[in-house]
Amino acid sequence: MSIFSIATSGLSAASLRVNVAASNIANVNTTGPLPASGGSGTSDGAATSNIGPTFPAAYVPLRVDQASQSSGSTPGGTIATVSAVSPSYTAQFDPSAPYANQDGLVAAPNVDLANEFVQLATAKYSFIANAKVIQAYSETEKSLLDITT
């Protein structure tokens, strides 16, 4: 794997990390009905017909998993994948919500804001480091071409 492709894989992973953290931060207050209550229906999970409106589920927070990428016997670069946080929600008291259960609980996304800001900082420095690698590679390649001519 070339230096350029290794650095661009790092840039892609950093970009994905920023997108996921931004989505989690933007949706930190997007609640929904507790999955056990299902928004409408009975408490035992059986559906009832047209008792009330169906509400969208709470936002499911995401996380980025990053691992080393290898092609054959030559390791290099990184690969990032997105997966759901588990558990995806926590019960939160909000009796004013139309989808709150009989105890006044709703499902709130299991987002740790401190961790999301750490992810943003990590992505920033990863992006800077990989951009510097590409810049150094470009300058080295240019100087090599200047020597040979």
Residue 40 in this model has a pLDDT that exceeds 50: no
With H, G, I as helix, E, B as strand and everything else as coil, classify residue 31: coil
The predicted structure's pLDDT at residue 51: 47
Confidence of residue 135 (pLDDT cuts 50, 70, 90): very high
pTM over 0.85: no
**147: enclosing H helix or E strand:** helix 113-148
Distances (CA, A) of 92 to 56, 95, 100, 110, 130: 16, 9, 9, 10, 40
Mean pLDDT, rounded, of the chain:
85
Which tens digits make up the pLDDT trace of 80-120?
999 999 999 999 999 999 999 999 999 999 999 999 999 99
Least confident of 26-35, 77-86, 136-145: 136-145
